[in-house]
Amino acid sequence: MKVLGHLLWAAIAVLAAFCLAGIAINHGEPVNSMWMVVGAACTYAVGYRFYAKFIAARVMFLNDKRATPAERLRDGLDFEPTNKWIAFGHHFAAIAGPGPLVGPVLAAQFGYLPGTLWIIIGAVLGGAVQDFVILFASVRRDGKSLGQMAREEIGKVGGFTAMLTVLLIMTILLAVIALVVVNALKGSPWGTFTIAATMPIALFMGVYLRYWRPGKVLECSAIGFALVVLSIFGGQWVAASPAWASAFSLGAMALALSVVVYGFCASVLPVWLFLAPRDYLSTFVKLGVVVALAVGILFVRPELQLPAFTRFVDGSGPVFAGKIFPFCFITIACGAVSGFHSLISSGTTPKLIAKESHIFPIGYGAMLMESFVAVMAMIAACVLQPGVYFAVNSPAGVVGATPAAAAATISGWGFPVTAADMATLARNVGEQTLFYRTGGAPSLALGMAAIFARGGGGQAVLGFWYHFAIMFEALFILTIIAAGTRVGRFMLTDLLVHMKVGPAKPNRGIAWVIGTTLVIIAAWGYFLVQGVRDPLGGINSLWPLFGISNQLLAALALCVATTILLKMHGPKYMWITCVPLTWLATATFTASYQKIFSPLPALGFLAQARQLELGPQSPTTQELIFNARLDAAVCGLLALLVAVILVDSLRVWYGLLRGTRDTRVSEAPFVPSRLQPEEV
């Protein structure tokens, strides 16, 4: 039986290698997406069965006889021993945001291969390891946060730097995802109406839950979902009506200002009235769409139209500038390695873990699932004709300001497309135009709509599915904006209290709430407006900034994880986290350096400022110059913050290796578990 098991795992490993080699070597003819799906699934299985199990058994010594914080500190609310698969679902729902969907779509400009390999290998060796070790560390430390662990394991500098880094990342994240929504909705009455309709629907749900049917969240979410689907049909009617269509056709700047106003209102309104019902709805829609996309891909088995590599591996890409190394590894953060996950792994999830053995499937397994979502997003982008992909994702500043000019430029790159093809496609999905829709969301929606429509209904339902996908993306991005602005307010308050600025009392009054909210809104709103005004489309500068900041947070999490492993075992197993840390630090610092100092204006912020200085001067040019320098400063600050953490960590590791520092781990003491099997 044991031999049979070995043979089975050997076959799975061979199949993984065969499929990955198949997509890597097979050039020149369309590749079926199933090669990617099977290759990814088999690699995940091997990584989970062997690598993660090795870490769990040899490094962590997961012990079910040890009571977890969920059992010891049980309060029925935050700390609660929860069924393994329910905690898994909860954790997955919390880590799956827009990142794994948008990043791979943008990185598809290099072709399907580099991004796919990074998603699969990065997740198995880096992202899942980070989530796993941080979750384990937090469970062993009473569910402490990453910042608290950084303070305890590395030192006060690490703790404070972590706090500041997270606030900066939040600001960039909110700006860039807001820009994704703006670019998806500009000039789209159908999409704008549908998203506008989700606001009164959320308010209705809030009142329903508070006064009519308190506690009936599932029932209320089902009603909300039905209303949202109705609003998609309503959007089609709005787009067909000349009077209503013009009312809901907003330009990029008008949409950006609307998102800023929305962000303010949504984050200061009572949570029960707007944010919470919207969040419930968006979580259910998100999970439903991820499952539907997986089923759709398995059912339709589409062929990939983008090549394995495009000519843009040389760094001249229209979607964003920069070569495969380091920019592929920066663009795809969530889906391969995401620093943000460490906040979830040291936030809600450790308080739900009933048994230590559950850390294994939840910490490692959920990240593999997120990686699989990223693979599906890559497939959805790559089923588009390359000409269509580049027409949708390239800014006017790169390809030309008219459809004919853009089509000619893109065709000149070897990806044939005509303005007439694009007009027909736009008509089929109920849009006025699909040119210059940078940000990834529209091309992802097109790919998803193509897959769903091939599952049944054909061209007749293409418009519905396109707008359903846009609604799904915008719904949960706008929910993250509302929640993120609110959290940013709390973080700013913590930071100010830490710096002894502002009142330390818990209830600081409405003026404080409005003031701190305005500061956060102004911060991400500024970057959003900057992105809208950027002639290169905004994504070119903001997405790499977001990717860099997210990977830097991962570097911080891996520093904490390495310190903990070093204290537990000495240098024996520190390679487990040191290898991904070294890779991330190399890629991220290289990307930061190139974004600041590259002499190419399309890539380097300072070169861009210098080029603008040489041209004709106007107030707009002055603003663009200032923005380029600001982006360079933010990029430099992020790199500096993480350099501080790295140096601080190296100092601690040196002390640990030399035996001059205390190697005691700050774990909670062992308490035997008394949890009965029926309790979980």
Partner 1 sequence: MNPVGQASWPFRFCRFLLALLREIADEGAYGRHLSALGREHSREEWRRFSERRLLAKYARPKCC
For residue 214, state whether it binds partner 1 (rule: CB under 8 A): yes
Q: Among residues 398, 412, 402, which one has the least CA distance to residue 317? A: 398
For residue 99, state whether it binds partner 1 (rule: CB under 8 A): yes
Q: Give min distance, CB of 105 to partner 1, in A.
A: 15
The only residue of 55, 106, 195, 217 in contact with partner 1, by rule CB under 8 A = 217
For residue 78, state whether it binds partner 1 (rule: CB under 8 A): yes
* Helices within 269-335 (DSSP H only): 275-300, 324-331
Q: Which CB, 74 or 323, lies closer to partner 1? A: 74
Q: Which residues pair with 432 in a beta bridge?
A: none
The only residue of 47, 484, 538, 601 in contact with partner 1, by rule CB under 8 A = 484
Q: Give min distance, CB of 285 to partner 1, in A.
A: 12
Q: Give min distance, CB of 287 to partner 1, in A.
A: 8
Q: Give min distance, CB of 170 to partner 1, in A.
A: 6
Q: Which residues from 524-563 bind partner 1, rule CB under 8 A?
A: 546, 550
SS (H, E, C) 613-641: HHCCCCHHHHHHHHHHHHHHHHHHHHHHH
CA distance 512 to 500: 15
Helices 128-139 & 146-153 angle (0-180, nearest 10): 80
Residue 129 contacts residue 59 (beta carbons within 8 Å):
no
Burial zone of 324 (CB within 10 Å; 0-12 exposed, 13-18 middle, 19+ buried): buried
For residue 608, state whether it binds partner 1 (rule: CB under 8 A): no
Q: Which CB, 127 or 430, lies closer to partner 1? A: 127
Q: Give min distance, CB of 367 to partner 1, in A.
A: 11
* Helices within 26-153 (DSSP H only): 33-46, 53-54, 69-72, 84-95, 99-107, 112-122, 128-139, 146-153
The DSSP line for 370-439 is HHHHHHHHHHHHHTS-HHHHHHHHS-HHHH-SSHHHHHHHHHHTT----HHHHHHHHHHTT-S--TT-TT
Q: Which CB, 249 or 371, lies closer to partner 1? A: 371
Q: Which residues from 328-387 bind partner 1, rule CB under 8 A?
A: 333-334, 338, 340-341, 343-344, 347-348
Q: How far is CA 330 from the centre of its chain?
A: 12
Q: Which CB, 66 or 90, lies closer to partner 1? A: 90
Q: Which CB, 88 or 436, lies closer to partner 1? A: 88
Q: Which residues from 556-585 bind partner 1, rule CB under 8 A?
A: none
Q: Which CB, 41 or 170, lies closer to partner 1? A: 170
For residue 486, state whether it binds partner 1 (rule: CB under 8 A): yes
Q: Which CB, 384 or 487, lies closer to partner 1? A: 487
Using DSSP, state whether 83 is helix, strand or coil.
coil
The only residue of 70, 259, 275, 319 in contact with partner 1, by rule CB under 8 A = 275
The DSSP line for 171-234 is HHHHHHHHHHHHHHHTT-HHHHHHHHHHHHHHHHHHHIIIIISTT-HHHHHHHHHHHHHHHHHH
Q: Which CB, 218 or 295, lies closer to partner 1? A: 218
- Chain residues in the site for partner 1 (CB under 8 A): 76-78, 80, 82-83, 85-86, 89-90, 93-99, 166, 170, 173, 177, 209-211, 214-218, 221, 271-272, 275-276, 280, 283-284, 287, 333-334, 338, 340-341, 343-344, 347-348, 479-480, 483-484, 486-487, 490-491, 546, 550
